[in-house]
């Protein structure tokens, strides 16, 4: 049987892949991998490895907080601590907690670290305040 080659763009292959036609889907898969046609998202991967889904914002803030944390840092409700939070009117800001400590918040022990991390966070997320 004679074979022929066709050229197909990734966009057209995606269109075929998500169509109801199984022949077009097969042709798309012959030209591109499944991951190229339907890339995995962080949320899908988190579900597979059974980790709770957190947004990219939360992940970046958590990573920054861990970076600035020193082995000698001890966090208690009695100590002042700072975190990066989002407000309705001011966008992303550094917030101080003095007598409370909430689960799930990534704290910084030093205000200067939190402010520096906020700058990095805004740049990484392409946000402006």
Domain boundaries, the chain: 56-124
Cβ neighbour number for residue 90 with a 10 Å cutoff: 9
Q: What is the pLDDT of residue 122?
A: 93
- Can you give the pLDDT at residue 90? 81
**φ, ψ of residue 78 in degrees (nearest 5):** -75, -25
Give the C-alpha separation, 28 to 34, whole Å.
Answer: 9
- Closest C-alpha among 77, 56, 51, 37 to residue 127: 56
Please list the pLDDT of the chain residue by residue as tens digits (129 residues).
Answer: 898 888 999 999 999 999 999 999 999 999 999 888 987 776 777 677 766 778 889 989 999 999 999 888 888 888 899 999 999 888 999 999 998 999 889 999 999 999 999 999 999 888 876
Give the model's pLDDT for residue 47: 72
């Amino acid at each position: 049987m004679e074979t022929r080659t066709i050229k197909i763009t990734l966009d057209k292959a995606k269109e075929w892949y998500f169509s109801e036609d199984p022949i077009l889907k097969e042709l798309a898969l012959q030209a591109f991998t499944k991951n190229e046609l339907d890339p995995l998202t962080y949320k899908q991967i988190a579900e597979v490895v059974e980790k709770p889904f957190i947004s990219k914002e939360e992940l970046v803030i958590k990573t920054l907080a861990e970076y600035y944390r020193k082995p000698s840092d001890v966090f208690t409700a009695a100590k002042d601590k700072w975190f990066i939070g989002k407000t309705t009117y001011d966008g992303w800001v550094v917030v101080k907690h003095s007598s409370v400590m909430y689960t799930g918040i990534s704290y910084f022990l030093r205000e200067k670290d939190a402010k520096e991390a906020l700058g990095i966070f805004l740049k990484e997320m392409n946000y402006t305040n």
